[in-house]
Amino acid sequence: MNSIDLAGTKLFKAFLKQEDNYNLYQKVIAHPEHRGMSQKLKKQFNEFYEEVLLIKYISSTIHYTAIELSIRKKKLDKVIQPLKYESEGVAENITNFHDKDWKEAISDEKLLHSIMKLTENERGIITYYYLHEWKEKEIARLLDITQQAVSKTKRKALEKLKKELSQGGFHEPARSCKKSKK
């Protein structure tokens, strides 16, 4: 590992915030001739980097899915709005729309399965945050909990997703909600 190449990067600084990584880095700097420590540091950094990539993938997939769902919902609302008061069944369909968000938005079965394995509370928070693009403060107000609780639950849900998805390997982002060319 070439410390000159990485030493100033945000990624490496984040890696060194973990005490074990920092201590190992100090040992490598103090004893550059010890290849075993250098290899161990390189391995730990690579694992950290893969974890960062996986979290970015999950976050990006959810973010772009949320954008597409928002567009689809706006289109649906324009169509349903005139019929809203004519039928009770239509009102029920609007309510059920949010329950189907994840299933309609994600074609990556492993990611969808992983999301459905989250607790109802975790799934609700990431639904509001990523699919409906609410701020943590707004979610906290809605659920009558602190913003810190929302942040912690969201982070815990992402960690669960990361763990679940890393067991099956890394997938390319699913682009299930492409605009139709009509």
* CATH number belonging to domain 3-167: 1.20.140
Q: What is the domain partition of the chain in residue ranges?
A: 3-167
Dihedral sign, CA of 122, 124, 126, 129? Answer: negative
* Residue 171 pLDDT: 45
Six-digit token pair at 162? 């990361």
Q: Which pLDDT value is given to residue 7?
A: 65
- The two tokens of residue 19 are 């005490």
The list of the chain residues with pLDDT below 50 reads: 1-4, 83-99, 169-182
Which pLDDT belongs to residue 1? 46
Q: What is the pLDDT of residues 45-71, one digit of tens each?
A: 999 999 999 999 998 889 888 888 888
pLDDT in tens, 83-95: 444 444 433 443 3
The burial of 6, by beta-carbon neighbours within 10 Å (0-12 exposed, 13-18 middle, 19 or more buried), is given as middle
What's the pTM?
0.43
Between the CA of residue 58 and those of 15, 53, 124, 161, 167, what are the distances in Å?
20, 9, 16, 8, 14
Instruction: Look at phi and psi of residue 170 and say left if phi exceeds 0, alpha if psi is from -120 to 50, else beta.
Output: beta
**DSSP label at residue 81:** G
Joined tokens for residue 49: 């980097």
Return the pLDDT at 39: 93
Structure confidence at residue 110 (pLDDT)? 82
C-alpha pair distances (Å), 1 with each of 13, 17, 47, 106: 15, 18, 14, 38
